[in-house]
Amino acid sequence: MFAPIVIVPMLIGAFASLALGSRGSTKYVALAASIVSFALALSMLGTQQQAQDVNWFAFAGNAFVLNFSLAPIHMLLLLIVAGVTPLVLGYSIGFMRLPSEHGRYYFEMLLFASSMALFAISGGFLTMFIGWELLGVTSYLLIGFWYGKEAAPTAARKAITTILIGDLAMFGAMLLLWTAYHSFSFAVIQGVQHSAAATVALSLILVAAFTKSAQFPFNEWLPDAMEGPTPVSAFLHSSTMVKAGVFMIAILLPIYAGYGMLLPILAIGIVSTVIGATNALVSTHIKRALAYSTIEDLGLMFIALGLNALGAAIMLFIMQTFYKALLFMNAGAIIKSNNTEEMWRSYESASHRPLFIASVIGVLSLAGVFPLSGFFGKQAVEGASVSAPLVYAILVIVQLLTGLYIFRWLLIPARRAPDNIAPKVRGGYRAVSIAMKIPIYVLAAIAVAASALYLLAPAYLGISAPQINVADAAVAFALTLAALVASYYVYASRSAIKAAQALRRYRSLSVPLYNSIFINRAYLAIAAAFGAIAYVVDRFDYWAYSRVRVVSSSLIEMGRATSRIESGNVTTYAAIFVGGITALIIIFGLL
Amino acid sequence: MNILPIIIAIPAIALVLIALLKERHSKLISTASTGIVLALSIALLALSIQAGKASFSQQYSYIGSLGIGLDLNVGIIQLILLLVSSAVLFAAAMSGNTEDEKHRLSSFLVVLFQLASVGLFSSANFFIFFIFWDVGVVALFFMINTLGSANRKIASINFLIYELFASALLLLAILLIYFYTPVNSFDLSYIAAHAGLIPANIQMIIFALLFVAFMINMPLFPTHFWLPDAHTEASTQGSMLLSGVLTKYGGYGMLLLFTMFPISAQFSKYVAVLAAASAFYAVFVLMRQTDVKRIIAYSTIVEMGIIMFGISAVNNYGIYGSAYAMLSHGLAVALMFLAVGVLKHVFGERDIRVLKGTVVNARSTTYIFLVGTLAMIGFPFSATFIADILIFLGAIQAFGVYGLIPLGAIAMLGAYLYFVINKSMLSTKEASSTVGATTMGHRLGYALLLLLIFAFGTMPFLLLNLIR
Amino acid sequence: MQYYLIPAYATIALTLAYVALSVLFAYTNSRRAAFVTATVLLVAIGVFAAIMASSPLEITIANTLHAYPFSMFFIMAFSLLAVLVNILSYRYSTDYTAFSMLFSFIFMGMFLVSSANNLFSIMLGLEIVSIPAAFTILHSGKRHIEAAVKFFILSAISVAVLTFALALIFPYDLQMGLTYLAPNFQISSGYIIALAIIFIIAALGFEMAAFPFNLWVPDVYEGSPSNITAMLAGMNKKIAFVALIEILFVIFINYATEFSPIIVLLSILTMFFGNIVALSQANVKRMFAYSSVSQAGYIMIGLAAATQFGLEASAFQIVAHALMIIGAFAVIGWMESLNIRSVSDYTGLHGRNQFAAGSLTVLMLSMAGIPPLMGFVGKFLLFSSAIDARLVALAVLGILNSFISIYYYARVINQMYTRKNSARIAAEPYAMAVALVAILFIFALGLYPQPLISLAHNAMVSLRS
């Protein structure tokens, strides 16, 4: 089947939603469209004709082709996208309560889903770039969705500025590669010869990947992007869009390995992981903590890629989808019930047992506890790093931090509420709509069941299964357990308050943990630098323009000066008359 | 049947009609004139696709003793420029003159400018080119002078001075070309074939004259100073025509210069640097502007810098990419100015510090502004995307990796435009109050321009297949 | 007598009739009769002259009048211009019949100069042109006395210089015929020739408004009533050019390489002087005076080129500019009668009378050299001829000056189209008619200049043979 067909229902749904606007049927139409797309995606499993190309236009004897591919790895991402979309849209039915927003919201969400699907099935740079750009714009619209708030548009601006850099880097890289190979197709570009232009192109692609996947130093747009509605965070910023960079590098990994350019990937991955883990530990905002956690997850994926362990990266890639989406949806439930996004002002998350169990599953999966799917993902990466001791050591520390922050995240909102508001909060949890709960339960189930993919996926993709080091798994488990105990002690036990007081004495030690502030300050400094340059150039422009006017006024002055020769005196004229003749005689007499 | 002479004749007839008939018929006549010419241009495109190539010509004698005639010749590049100018003219005529009641005057000037533009882009010799250049400049001068806003007097005179200085240089250049070619001729194809025979030092002078003349018009730094003021003070129609069509005169001239004179290849690198510098300069100044119209005005300078960059590559990709870019940019910038004009019309304001929450009361216009931004920075499915691909491929071929540098200017432009949209337009906190409403004419203008941007963005083969 | 030469005889006869009848009507003081007769006769003269100008026929009548395409071309032009001046004067002149009489003498003088076949005729004709001109100014009112006296004194000086020049040439050509100076006659030194050329250029330069002999122009133009200014600028100035062409390009044709640089220098100085001083003028009439000074400079470009093409270009521009300047002074005169004099007075003219503003705009655009108007064609031909003669620097300076002139024209246009609430101006049929004729020619010859170019070509070819 022709690959882009899978996008069609989503697009139809998008425009239908826009047309239907604030009617009640909008959300159901959107959901239906996404389900149809998922069905189509499923039907494409096992398709024979995997590489499909469309000739778009030709110039100077060269064809510009839109490449599509249904190779296993693309199929995988497509299924993930097409599968998560209905879950998120279903969740949205319960979360987005204002009918006036529906038309715009479902339009933008389905447009995003279509772009992500397009991205997934792209077999070449041109197609991928189109999807890439669309992802950026839809993300901008969705982050800034509630433009009545002050913070949302600001966050959207930050996101789009960062992503724009990546967009243009990718554009440049795409064209450089085309110049060398006269093709955009990934298959053709695999056989890359060393050249300066190719190195530049690959570096630019890395930059693009890092901007999209919120890696250092482009990571700060992601936490701010949490200003968007929670379903948006669950969809774009945990399970799909941010992983686009990882996906792209994964497809091109052999080339990077051949060029010896794996080190930057590894390095950036490590830095980002550390940043993610440390900032998540000190974040007090429910969704921001998860955002930093996502940065950490993505960093781990890049570490795996940097170690040329494609299998490990893909394993984590798959598993992270489920627990992250799950945790974000949970976060949405907590936020709705407590009417705040601050962790310390949220309570009673344990009051609604099923929801709490689902969140525990998500948390344990993230921490990498056997036998949940997250275990296979995280351990695959750690296993791959065993051969590089330095990396392994860092990952062990990160493992500890992960445990600390995620249990903290779980336990703080689980506290008992003060008596005056307890009934309201508990009632809030009960009132969480069924439309929100069902996707949460489904994802929890998947988070458990997806462990099976550890066995199935590598075979499907045709790569070797990632090794899991048992010793390392044991160490990780021990650390997680320790983290659980520590968190419980600090946040949930009866001695929580004393523990908190004790911790406050060591507050200054935690400064490095707030390192995202430095990154933000760097952004502001860069923006200020641009602003300063702009100021100088603008002043120059203004000054130069006023100089130009001087020319015209001096012409007039010249005129005034010359006109004084016109004295009105006849004898003067006569004298000049004669003088003129004399002058002419002299001048031309000399010739 | 030869369509070309009809395309020239229709505006001429319309001029006479507007002068003679009642004032209330003027707008109808101008809309009809521009609409028919647009339809005919599209017909030319269709005929070209059918024939597999674009080639139309016609000749009439003017000054027989000098061998000068009203010679017309339309090839693929001329066809591209005809399309963009007739589309922008139609959109401008349709959206009408909402700022003032002087319908007869504005219609007359629009049709006069139409005659000049259509004539210039289809001219087959430099003499006619020059004549239409001056006519177009004078028409726009009057448009700014009589129909603009408060400070239009100085702005219009400045505009006139700059442009007529450019035309003086142009006149000198074409006279030099005429007298130094083996058989004295203004004919473009003849000159293209024999330009190498002009003595080298004269070629250098001709190049310098033409380069400066077209540089003033495009405009490029450092001869750009007339543009922002002219735009700020012109009416919406005036701005659409100024940026959408008049700047293309210079762009077309540069294309001719670099394709006809072999000496221009020597300066390719220097021109490229100048073009890139111009683009970056403009984007930095742009980031400090608070008047939306001025922002779009500077963005024109940025885009023309990119176009010049493409031309300076002097290869197939660069040349045709620039022509395509002139098409896409003309449409996109006309769309933006139309949107800005509607904002001014609806809210009475153009300052982004004051203009807030336009999405509440002028939703379609706000989203058009967003789509226009996407069209300007080269978002996929817009014509600019194709143009950028071609231009930068040409630049890479000619300059290697350095050919990608101007992408930075596009990035900054996009970032700031998103900033403008986000900070002022998309807001509900303080929605500005309205003093007018979007009219059907505006909406039709939007629709037409969007349709063309999208059409040439998704079906580039319509034009590209005509290139041999 | 061949019948196809009748038009030539007719022009002479009609001119004499014109003079006689003007005198008669001046004596009987019948304005309307004078006007109608003048117009009819002038139109007839023009038609006959046009017929003769397009054919290559020549005849010398009474041994003094040489009727050939060159003379017929200019007589045709001058008669048309005379009609226009007449219309203006009928409306604005204080004593029309007296003016008409004097004007008929002037016209006769112009006829004489154009069709001269010897130097005496030229000199005589020039005298007949200048002296009555001075008197017309004198006669039109007390406040014009200063202008008249200035004009008279300076024209006296120029005539003296001219006479001296002719005296220098006299020994070498006792017939004083308008034939080229035979190359083989002995001149003891070239200095005599050079001196003679310079004096001739100076003398005619006075009338032509060439720098530095043109200092009187702004004062006299501003100080005379507009209809006379129109005459001075449109006709008197042009006849000087005709005389210069006749003398330089026939008698001194072999010395073209010597006199060409002189004309180049004067042309450059004149153009710059006229344009730059015009920039600072506040009085519109004075501004146009300076503008017409610079226009003389442009015409001199064609003469400096000293080629066939150059002469044709100058001939074209002579006629073109005469039409434009008369049209311009028609409108200016109309405005003057309403006390609108300075540039600031012209503010909002578009709102007060669309025709006045529109016609003045078209006239100024044409003078600035904006296509597709007649002024552009003239300038284009002139600059082309300069480059053709490899006088590239001159062409450059000419184009530069053209560009400078836009500045002061644009200023006036700017003011006219500014909005200002002022009283409406009533239509003025005579001035409007003259302006309308000028504008019609501007468009007609701008879009289809070939006829005039052909006539000029014909004229200049006949001169050279």
Are A576 and C277 inside 8 Å of each other by CB? no
Backbone CA torsion sign across A110, A111, A114, A120: negative
Backbone CA torsion sign across A224, A227, A233, A236: negative
Closest Cα in chain C, distance from residue A572 (Å): 9
B 389-418 residues with CB below 8 A of A? 389-390, 392-393, 396-397, 400-401, 404, 407-408, 410-412, 414-415, 418
Report yes or no: C420 at the B interface, CB cutoff 8 Å. no
B202, closest residue in chain C (CA to CA): C392
Among candidate residues A493, A484, A450, the one with its CA nearest the CA of residue A360: A484
Distance of CA C303 to the CA centre of its chain: 15
User: Rg for chain A (alpha carbons), in Å?
Assistant: 31
C23-51: average pLDDT = 88
Residues of A in contact with C343 (CB under 8 A): none
The pLDDT-based confidence of C177 (bands split at 50, 70, 90) is low
Helix (H) or strand (E) holding A56: strand A51-59
Q: Is the Cβ–Cβ distance between C217 and C285 less than 8 Å?
A: no
Tell me the pLDDT tens digit for each residue of A258-297. Answer: 888 888 899 999 999 998 988 888 888 889 999 999 999 9
Q: Which chains touch A (3 or more CB pairs under 8 A)?
A: B, C
| pLDDT beyond 60 at C96 | yes
Tell me, what's the pLDDT at B65? 66
The pLDDT-based confidence of B429 (bands split at 50, 70, 90) is low
Helix (H) or strand (E) holding C441: helix C429-447
Tell me the pLDDT tens digit for each residue of B120-141. Answer: 999 888 888 998 999 999 999 9
Tell me, what's the pLDDT at A48? 67
| pLDDT beyond 50 at C185 | no
Report yes or no: C190 at the A interface, CB cutoff 8 Å. no
User: Rg for chain C (alpha carbons), in Å?
Assistant: 21
Q: How many CA atoms lie within 13 A of B77 on its CB side?
A: 24
Tell me the pLDDT tens digit for each residue of B136-179. Answer: 999 999 888 888 777 787 788 888 888 888 988 998 898 888 88
Are C277 and A573 inside 8 Å of each other by CB? no
Between A328 and A62, residue with greater pLDDT: A328
The pLDDT-based confidence of C181 (bands split at 50, 70, 90) is low
Task: State how far the Cα of B241 lies from the Cα of B249, in Å rounded to an integer.
Answer: 11
A356-364: average pLDDT = 89
Report yes or no: A545 at the B interface, CB cutoff 8 Å. yes
Report yes or no: C343 at the B interface, CB cutoff 8 Å. no
Among candidate residues A532, A529, A538, A137, the one with its CA nearest the CA of residue B283: A538
Task: State how far the Cα of C309 lies from the Cα of C388, in Å rounded to an integer.
Answer: 8
Among candidate residues A223, A238, A218, A121, the one with its CA nearest the CA of residue A167: A218
Are A556 and C278 inside 8 Å of each other by CB? no
Tell me, what's the pLDDT at C437? 92
Q: Is the Cβ–Cβ distance between C315 and C377 less than 8 Å?
A: no
Q: How many interchain CB pairs under 8 A, A with C?
A: 81
B 24-83 residues with CB below 8 A of A? none
Are A580 and C213 inside 8 Å of each other by CB? yes
Are C407 and B161 inside 8 Å of each other by CB? yes
C421 dihedral zone (left: phi>0; alpha: psi -120 to 50; beta): beta
Quote the tokens at residue A318: 């798959």
Q: What are phi and psi of B365, to 5 degrees?
A: -65, -40
A469-486: average pLDDT = 82
Task: State how far the Cα of B95 lies from the Cα of C76, in Å rounded to an integer.
Answer: 51
On the question of a cis peptide bond just before residue B222, with omega within 30 degrees of 0, the verdict is yes
Tell me the pLDDT tens digit for each residue of B309-331. Answer: 999 998 889 999 999 999 999 99
Q: What are phi and psi of A122, to 5 degrees?
A: -80, 130
Which of B407, B413, B424 to probe by mutation at the A interface, max A CB count within 10 Å?
B407
Q: Where are the domains of chain B?
A: 4-464
Task: State how far the Cα of A75 lies from the Cα of A61, in Å rounded to an integer.
Answer: 33
Report yes or no: A534 at the B interface, CB cutoff 8 Å. yes
The pLDDT-based confidence of A573 (bands split at 50, 70, 90) is confident
